Amino acid sequence: MLDNGCVPSEKKSEVVDGFLIKYHANGNTVWSKGKINADNQPDGYWEWYRVDGTLKRSGHFVNGTAIGEWITYDDKGDVYKVTNQ
């Protein structure tokens, strides 16, 4: 339960052509999308988005573990930060 007395709900999600797509709380705009493996773990390239649809972060997973270069973007879509996992 949240401080305001509300119960948090799962984000709306669906699988389309092998990609798991999760939506923001508004249920309309994409929050994240990427491939999942047979164990429902993130696997391969993933992206996260802001409510306005701009790219926020991207990176790769192998069997649910973040690997390699991860990029965070500012609200204009320019690279803000690059980290290595």
Q: pLDDT tens digits, residue range 31-70?
A: 999 999 999 899 999 999 999 999 999 999 999 999 999 9
**What pLDDT shows up at residue 1?**
43
Alpha-carbon separation of residue 84 from 9, 59, 66, 69, 70 (angstroms): 32, 9, 9, 5, 6
Q: Which residues pair with 84 in a beta bridge?
A: 69
**What pLDDT shows up at residue 60?**
98
- Is 5 part of any domain? no
- Is 7 part of any domain? no
Return the higher-pLDDT residue of 54 and 4.
54
- For residue 23, what are the domain limits? 13-84
Specify the residue for token string 């500012």: 74
- Is 37 part of any domain? yes
pTM here is: 0.83
- Is 8 part of any domain? no
How many domains is the chain built from?
1
- Is 4 part of any domain? no
- % pLDDT > 90, the chain: 79
- Is 6 part of any domain? no
Interval 26-31 mean pLDDT? 94
Q: Which residues does 43 contact at the CB level (< 8 Å), separation at least 6?
A: 34, 35, 36, 37, 61, 62, 63, 64
- Is 1 part of any domain? no
- Is 3 part of any domain? no
